[in-house]
Amino acid sequence: QALPSLKQLQRSGIDPARIVFEITELGGASARLPGVVERYREAGARIAIDDFGAGYSQLDRVLALQPDILKLDMRLFQQAARGGPSSEVVKALAQMAEKTGCWIIAEGVETEAELDFALECGARYVQGYLFAKPEEAFFSSHAFVKRFAQLRDHYVQQKLAERARLMTLRQQLGELMNSFKAWIEDGAQPDQLPQPHATPWLLRIFQCDRHGTQLTANLEWREHAWHSDARYVGHNWSWRPYFYQLLAEGWEERRLILSSTYRDATTNQYCLTAGQFIDNGKRLLLIDIDAAGF
């Protein structure tokens, strides 16, 4: 049978290419839904999944329907914008959407911080009270251009400031790495360890062979003193993303490589790891950093 909604479009003379059919939460999977979606597509319309990340809007639906648009669940999005584990989950969902060719819509954007988070997630569109409450009449297509331009520029300045902090961090890491390399080359005497009082974000240093096996105890910097932890000697870390990033990017030039932020499975902290080859490429010197300040 012809779908009533498509019949309605034909009667009204509206081009289906201007229409997005939104799939709301359903109580379980519908075997007929993929066929209905395909008919909308054949007519030239696009498909959105609403409230993605909540209720029955699960990943299997995305794989089955291959929507054009994913609308993030408002409660999940607003919680994620405040930080914490849900923030990483929503970013991962957004990355997944990007890889499958979906556009992201962030709903419930009510503060500048929530807009910043939406942009961080790569949202193509945003909607919420930050701009206006719903009105019966349509807004002008240019109604929010000036306001959004101001907010966007503020976001870009924030990202530039983050980049500047990262550049400063890289410089400090380079100096710190050189001091530890000199200490190792001088015999690695415990009583001669550098005292990194100017780098409160330092968590630990350790050495691995070039295959990822830890050779030395962790030297942990806490409460303004060094502490040794030998539990991880012999463990192999070659599977960790920062390690194969080092092998891929740091081997030829022997330069310092800084990983992306990740959550450490042992301490549950968000960390970055800096590493550099030493001893003519036979070993790796690694520095773990508390990412909370960055």
Cα distances (Å, whole numbers) of residue 70 to 60, 96, 98, 159, 270: 13, 11, 10, 25, 28
Regions of the chain short of the pLDDT cut 70: 1, 25-29, 55-58, 250-254, 293-294
The pLDDT score that the predictor gives to residue 130 is 95
- Asked if 79 and 90 touch (Cβ cutoff 8 Å), the reply is no
Mark whether 104 and 192 lie in a shared domain: no
Q: Is the dihedral of CA 108, 113, 115, 120 positive or negative?
A: negative
Task: Confirm whether 140 is domain-assigned.
Answer: no
Same domain, residue pair 120 and 62: yes
Q: How many domains does the chain have?
A: 2
Instruction: For residue 121, give the CATH number of its domain.
Output: 3.20.20.450
- For the domain that residue 262 is a member of, what is the CATH number? 3.30.450.20
The string of pLDDT tens digits covering residues 129-150 is: 999 998 999 999 899 999 999 9
| 126 and 212 co-located in one domain | no
- Residue 280: predicted pLDDT: 83
Range of the domain at 84: 4-131
Question: Are residues 97 and 199 located together in one domain of the fold?
Answer: no
- 253 and 190 co-located in one domain: yes
